[in-house]
Structure 1
Amino acid sequence: MSAVRLLVLGVTRRQQPTHGYAVRRELLSWRADTWTNVQPGSIYHAIKQLTLEGKLRTLGSEGGNRGPGRTLFELTPAGEVEFRERMDTALTSVDMEELGAGIAFMDALPRAEVIAKLEEQRARSRQIRDDLLGMVGDYPGRYEPPHATDLLELWSGVFDNLTGWTAGVLTRLRGGEYGMADDPAR
């Protein structure tokens, strides 16, 4: 999955109608370039590609004092479908970029749906951790480097941390923290 596509869809969805520079400015204000592969060029490329695929629609341009006007975009129904599909994938992912992109827009979904997806993600993280730890006794084998055990312990620690982090987010969600799409106040 491309975290860039989800981020562009999500920001466009949240701000629509919006223009490419506003999407870029928003993502850079989140410092998304430090936790994803999002770069200015990839943002504009995703906008162009999503428009060609019919996921974004152009609405004309917004006038500017300097230079040509900026093209305004909004999500199409197909863009909304892709956003939802990518959110489902991202919230169950153990890939940090994907999961981070999903967490960035989790408030766009109903609370129970996010909780269910994150429970699935936590179970996956825990299983990967346990599988890695289960392999420690088999290393080093005849052909593995002697430090393979250290790598297994490193990665099991990463997944242990992810499991604990997800548990904390789930506790906060269940406690009513974060405004979600189905909250009455929204």
Structure 2
Amino acid sequence: MLRLRQPTHGYAVRRELLSWRAGNWTNVKPGSIYHALRQLAQEGKLSTLGSQGSDQGPGRTLFELTAAGETEFRRLMDAALVSVDMEELGAAIAFMDALPRAHVLEKLREQRRRSAEVRDQLIGMTGDFPGRYAPPHATDLLELWGSVFDNPAGWTGGMIERLEAGEYRMPD
């Protein structure tokens, strides 16, 4: 978020994330935003540009991304775009327009392949399941878990089609 609005301060990042209702699709807590900004500045991924005055309280520290921060952003985006974890993938989709289209397409194809692989592995285990002490309906769990990965595999296919058709503005 800071990357989109830089230079900016923690309150603006928090307000923007709340407007996106990020609390519904991620575990971001308001207090953790300020901690993360301080930590990223300490790690050299953000630089501080002084304070912006506020009539609602103390001045707000302005931050902007450094070259190391941009590198970290790209690394995290690449990992999240191929993730089978919905929270990570969701965060990557929210910010995918920061990356070149061909790069996002490559990562989403990998994500779709990985989701299908996990689904196939889970469904494939049903023949060897349940174990000696597992209840007979335990195979239903494998089918349930496997079907969970059908959705992202199918959804990602639709996103790939939309990107290939030129939908969404990308930096390239």
Post-superposition offset of 1:81? 0.4
Q: Partners in 2 of 1:69 and 1:37 — Cα distance?
A: 27
Aligned partner of 1:179 in structure 2 is 169
Aligned length: 172
Identify which of 83, 91, 96 aligns with 2:81. Answer: 91
Post-superposition offset of 1:69? 1.2
Identity of aligned residues (%): 72
State the Cα deviation string for residues 56-95 of structure 1 (Å, max 9, x = none).
1110011112322111000011000000000110001001
Deviating runs (4+, > 4 A) in structure 1? none
Q: Partners in 1 of 2:45 and 2:67 — Cα distance?
A: 7
Identify which of 22, 27, 36 aligns with 1:32. Answer: 22
Post-superposition offset of 1:143? 2.2
Across the aligned residues of Structure 1 and Structure 2, the Cα RMSD in angstroms comes to 0.9
Aligned partner of 1:69 in structure 2 is 59
2:49 is paired with a residue whose SS is strand
Where do 5+ consecutive residues of structure 2 fail to align? Answer: none
Post-superposition offset of 1:113? 0.3
Where do 5+ consecutive residues of structure 1 fail to align? Answer: 1-10
State the Cα deviation string for residues 95-148 of structure 1 (Å, max 9, x = none).
111111111110000000000000000000001111111111222221223332
Q: Partners in 1 of 2:68 and 2:15 — Cα distance?
A: 25
1:59 aligns with 2:13: no
Aligned partner of 2:6 in structure 1 is 16
- Stretch of structure 1 that moved more, 77-86 or 40-49: 40-49
Aligned partner of 2:68 in structure 1 is 78
Q: Which amino acid aligns with 1:180?
A: M
Q: Partners in 2 of 1:72 and 1:14 — Cα distance?
A: 14
Identify which of 133, 136, 140 aligns with 1:146. Answer: 136
Aligned partner of 1:101 in structure 2 is 91
State the Cα deviation string for residues 29-73 of structure 1 (Å, max 9, x = none).
111111111010111111111111111111001111232211100
Q: Partners in 1 of 2:113 and 2:29 — Cα distance?
A: 32
